Amino acid sequence: MSYIVHRNHRFYVVAYTGHDPISGSERRRWHPAGTSRSDAEAIRSRIDAARPAAACPSTVAGFLTDVWLPSKGDLTHPTRNRYRWMIDRYINPRIGQQRLDRLRPADLDATYTDLSVRGGKNGQALSRKTVLEVHRVLANALDLAIDRELLDTNPAHRARPPRPDTRSTIPAIWTASQLASYLDIVRRHRLFPALHLVAHTGLRRGELAGLNWGDLDTHAATVSIARTRQVTGGRTIEAPVKTRTSRRRVDLDTGTLDVLKHWRQRLVEEGAQIHPATAMFLNQRHIAVSPESISQLFNRTVAKTDLPRIRFHDLRHTHASLLVAAGVPIKVVSERLGHAHPGFTMHTYQHLLPGMGAAAAAAFADLITTSR
């Protein structure tokens, strides 16, 4: 597991000694071997013979499942499930049975290409973002293989995954009249309160699905965001919110508070047992609604209207951009959305609403005209 270098008429044996925990770079030690290649070969043999044999699964699948995943003790449950899902669905079917010590960059390149062409659902192309996620999982796992002295080099560092898509994407949004029109159309739907709440608060899908009745404070007219429900590997799981700023209280208007009170009363009339730990939004069997079900409901109802097609997450963008256009301070909008910093809110939403730039130009022209 070492190699010989001939430099300036002298030989050196270069041996891998581990991985720098801070920079992530490989550590190597150079052993002087004089001017004779045979002496260098002898030193190399002694170094390799002294290298302890590693007790580890020999295949990529065995290493990822039995060694790498257990080593990630600080992962949240949803993230761990996400990694396991990617390993089982994207990596193991392609290179899982390959010997770890024979894995080459070309094998990874072939994996990325296959995923990009037919790695998605029903054999469709997998998104560039997901393929890059797979690459990062492999790169991190193979770094651990180097630390455990199972590999000399990380083939993922020399592979060629797809480049990140650096094109800027502007979220689609509705105007205030379009959003009002949509809410009027779906008012009779059983889960209208969920759609109304997300439109009036800008909650993320997982945050909406993760609400319990104990999170609603009717006296203070607030709802607390403390957990999220996510779909991972076909299962819905509950977990705490990831960041400090995501844990927050969101103020509610009186109309939204009334909608939630009537929704609770309807559930009681249906026979649901309501406790503080009961999910706020239940299906007809009185089971917590899946985040996927909420998105699918939104897509179905929008498809029946003449409104522009937007994603469920774009309700959040719509909420934020309408607040910005109404002159609500950026810091208030940022705290309402649970953003880490107001600068991100400003960068994302300041330019979204059509006509804001034109209004600014007209306002500036008026200032100049007035000064004259």
- How far apart (Å, rounded) are the C-alpha atoms in residues 257 and 217? 9
Calpha distance 8→133 (Å, rounded):
43
Q: Is the pLDDT score of 256 beyond 70?
A: yes
Q: Looking at residue 269, what is its pLDDT?
A: 96
**Quick check: 151 and 100 in contact, CB under 8 A?**
yes
Q: What's the pLDDT tens digit per position in 191-206?
A: 999 999 999 999 999 9
pLDDT digit string, tens, across residues 58-97: 899 999 999 999 998 777 777 888 899 899 999 999 999 9
pLDDT at 159: 95
Decide: 191 and 298 in contact? Cβ < 8 Å: no
Residue % of the chain over a pLDDT of 90: 58
Mean pLDDT of the 260-277 span: 96
pLDDT score at 149? 81
Query: What does the pLDDT read at residue 20?
Result: 57
Cα 299 to Cα 10, 109, 174, 180, 182, distances in angstroms: 70, 36, 14, 17, 12
pTM given for the model: 0.68
Per DSSP, the residues of 304-330 read TSSSPP--TTHHHHHHHHHHHHTT--H
**What is the architecture of the domain spanning 60-157?**
Orthogonal Bundle (1.10)
8-65: per-residue pLDDT in tens? 888 888 886 665 555 545 577 888 999 888 888 888 888 777 765 545 568 999 999 9
Lowest mean pLDDT among 34-43, 250-259, 313-322: 34-43
**How far, CA to CA in Å, does 116 sit from each of 89, 131, 142, 267?**
14, 7, 21, 45
Per-residue model confidence (pLDDT) at position 29? 82
Provide the mean pLDDT of the chain.
88
**pLDDT (mean) for 330-340:** 93
Contact 131, 167 (CB under 8 A): no
Overall average pLDDT of the 311-328 stretch: 92
Asked if pLDDT for residue 245 goes beyond 70, the answer is yes
Does the pLDDT value for residue 1 go beyond 80? no
Query: Which residue has better confidence, 137 or 371?
Result: 137
Question: What are the extents of the domains in the chain?
Answer: 2-50, 60-157, 176-356
pLDDT for 281 equals 97
CATH assignment of 176-356, given 1.10.3720.10, 1.10.132.20, 3.30.565.10, 1.10.443.10?
Answer: 1.10.443.10
Residue 304 banded pLDDT, cuts 50, 70, 90: very high
Q: Which pLDDT belongs to residue 288?
A: 94
At 185 the pLDDT is 97
What average pLDDT does this structure show over 129-147? 93
- 3 Cβ contact partners less than 8 Å away, ≥ 6 residues apart: 13, 14, 44
